[in-house]
Amino acid sequence: MKLLELVQYFRNGGSYTEFCQLQDLNTESEVIEIYMEQPWEIDKDLAFFEIEKTEGNIEYSANGKEYSNLFDFYYFLDAIEESNNDENQSLSNEKLTKLLYSYAINDA
């Protein structure tokens, strides 16, 4: 799943619990972290890991691949919620994806 697909899923009303079940993630985890395969590019596939597995590391290896942390699901869900308010509703999924990606690579 790419970042744009993740944005679309949640902006279209997808549920966190259902998402976790589809991705075989523990909904009881303290936090789910969103990673991207290195090197970062906006259209790279994402990976999702429980913090109990990553131990909060910015870099994480799994399945023979190297990943870097973009942000956690709390941040992501807050951004989705804000994007759906009256002030930001006109923001396209593509623009929101670019803003989230820019945040991850420049500000995180």
Taking the C-alpha atoms of residue 76 and residue 36, their distance in angstroms, rounded to an integer, is: 14
Q: Could you report the per-residue pLDDT of 17-66, keeping only the tens digit for each?
A: 999 999 999 999 999 999 999 888 999 999 999 999 999 999 999 989 99
**CA–CA distance, 97 with 94 (Å, rounded to integer):** 5
Instruction: Show Cβ contacts of residue 69 under 8 Å, excluding neighbours closer than 6 positions.
Output: 33, 34, 35, 54, 57, 58, 59, 60, 108
Q: 68 forms bridges with which residues in the sheet?
A: 36, 59
Give pLDDT, residue 27. 92
The ranges assigned to domains in the chain are 3-107
pTM: 0.91
Radius of gyration, alpha carbons of the chain: 13
pLDDT above 90 coverage of the chain, percent: 84
